[in-house]
Amino acid sequence: MKRLDTLSIIAQDLTAVFGAEDRYQRLLEALRLAIPFDSAALLRHQKGVLTPIASMGLKPKAISTRFRLSEHPRLDIICGSSEPTLFSSDSTLPDPFDGLLEIDLESIHHIHACLGCPLLIRDQLVGVLVFDAIDPLAFSHLPKQYIQVIASLASAQMQTVELLSTLEQEAERQGLLANDLMQDIQQQRGYEILGASSQIKRLRQEIELVATSDFTILILGETGVGKELVARSIHNRSRRRDKPLLYLNCAALPTSLAESELFGHVKGAFTGAIADRIGKFELANEGTLFLDEIGELSLEIQAKLLRTIQEGEIQRVGSEKIQHVDVRLITATNRDLEKEVATGKFRADLYHRLNVYPIIVPPLRERLEDIPLLAEYFAQKAGAKLRLRQVRVSNEAVALLLRYKWPGNVRELDNVISRAVLKASAKQLVGEAVVTPDVVSGDLNMPTSIPQNSFERDSPQKQSGRSFRAEVKAFEIRLIQQALENHQGNWAAAARELGMNRSNLHNLATRLGIRRKKIAGDE
């Protein structure tokens, strides 16, 4: 009757909702009803190594022991068989669990009865069940067919647990991925790079060139130039554009957590590791991982990153399992990595792996002609957030922006314009805002008026007799007209070249007098 009860309990547990540890432990408890063992162990098989996943009657250190088949002949025999193996009580083969039983009998040094069952799923060995007893005849009365049924049910139980664990891990991965992508959506500013300067045109060409490859990309540039935007642009033009793009700021990572954040960890790997965690490389599998401020990583983490780039392999902290990932890596830094290599702060081999195709993002002070377009774009964006009907940047304000050196680059311009729109909205008509020199001058620490002698020294265009305001307007007109000419009057194509929304281009052109009104359906 106990044998039938055992089979019934195991069968019911196959459809019950339990965690992996509970399932395995209940399996051994059910088997104890019919099998008179002093110890039992359920072990998972992987590449010639057996790892205990549940035990009864064994000392705690047994569960953390790894049993290599080459070192344990009994386990090797069990794994090589297709049916249960009962070892003779006088067998001279060492038992792997000698000295590991919990029974408090000092006189007992050797186990006298040993029964092993290979666990097979579709003829593939996934684990073993091993029973030991002090009584040499403990297992002699058990029908072989009954043991075979138990082994089949145990195999099914292990398969159920593995499937559930896989589903749980995938659910966790998807949950973490969704969380990362939600943050990404919130922070996303698009991926189109604004500007019509020769530097930006060259940058766009380089992005188009490298995007279709799977090369590792190193993006170089000062803080605030838009390195993340370049990474987004590369990803969105790549064959991985339908897969995730994940972002990690290496400068914000404590050295002690960097490895876990990149590669993940297993429960108990270190203090505070209360559960398994998936790393960014695993989350980004088949997609793109953008590592910003790569120069901030420690030399130890650099070595592990190098291995991942070379072999496509990751290993969670505390795990012996090697996993393969398919990730396109994009990195960025504002440091001079060649100098870092020379001083020993950055690995030379990693630098050469990252520097397959470097992309240099120019600072804003080297492309001042893009400032009018950028200022207009940021003003429209800030106006939308403030729910303003109309926002524009005066030509006088643009003239002031053109004279500033922009140490914080495009990010600083964005912040300056956003604050200026907010200030202007409080001073002017409800729902409208005009950014004038007085609302930007404080941020730039510059006077609102431009000294005549300074203007003449810095701006040779003044020789034409036109004011700075007129020169800025003429410059904007030339840009738009050139873009329209490049695309045979196609407004949508011209807007794309200038990095603008088509409606914003229509509005700007109307203000500049290039067109009288916005016509529905204009291309």
CA 514/CA 290 separation, integer angstroms: 41
Is residue 3 pLDDT above 70, yes or no?
no
Residue 238 region, left (φ>0) first, then alpha (ψ -120 to 50), else beta? beta
In the Cβ-directed half-sphere of 126, how many Cα atoms lie within 13 Å?
A: 19
CA 154/CA 129 separation, integer angstroms: 8
The three-state DSSP-derived secondary structure of 213-241 is CCCCEEEECCCCCCHHHHHHHHHHCCCCC
Residue 436 region, left (φ>0) first, then alpha (ψ -120 to 50), else beta? beta
In the Cβ-directed half-sphere of 77, how many Cα atoms lie within 13 Å?
A: 16
Spatial contact of 87 and 93, defined as CB atoms under 8 Å apart: yes
CA 510/CA 523 separation, integer angstroms: 15
pLDDT score at 517 = 45
User: Tokens representing 350?
Assistant: 């990693």
pLDDT digits (tens, 9 = 90+) for 177-210: 666 654 555 455 556 788 888 899 999 999 999 9
CA 156/CA 164 separation, integer angstroms: 12
CA 382/CA 118 separation, integer angstroms: 67
CA 190/CA 192 separation, integer angstroms: 6
Phi, psi values for residue 26, rounded to 5°: -65, -35
Q: What single-letter DSSP state applies at residue 81?
A: -
pLDDT digits (tens, 9 = 90+) for 445-464: 776 654 443 333 344 444 44
Sheet holding 39-46, edge to edge: 67-68, 49-56, 39-46, 124-133, 113-121, 85-87
Mean pLDDT of 291-310: 93
Is residue 490 pLDDT above 70, yes or no?
yes
Distance of CA 86 to the CA centre of its chain: 50
CA 194/CA 496 separation, integer angstroms: 9
User: Tokens representing 105?
Assistant: 């009998």
pLDDT digits (tens, 9 = 90+) for 361-397: 999 999 988 999 999 999 999 999 988 989 999 988 9
The one-letter code for the residue type at 519 is I
Is residue 137 pLDDT above 70, yes or no?
yes
pTM for this structure?
0.58
Ordered by where they begin, the domains of the chain are 2-165 (3.30.450.40), 188-362 (3.40.50.300), 366-512 (1.10.8.60)
Q: How confident is the model at residue 332 (pLDDT cuts 50, 70, 90)?
A: very high
Sign of the CA dihedral 177, 182, 188, 192?
A: positive
In the Cβ-directed half-sphere of 65, how many Cα atoms lie within 13 Å?
A: 18
pLDDT digits (tens, 9 = 90+) for 196-249: 888 999 999 999 999 999 999 999 999 999 999 999 999 999 999 888 899 999
71 vs 12, more confident: 71
CA 521/CA 168 separation, integer angstroms: 50
DSSP three-state, residue 87:
strand
121 vs 414, more confident: 414
CA 338/CA 502 separation, integer angstroms: 42
User: Tokens representing 39?
Assistant: 């110890």
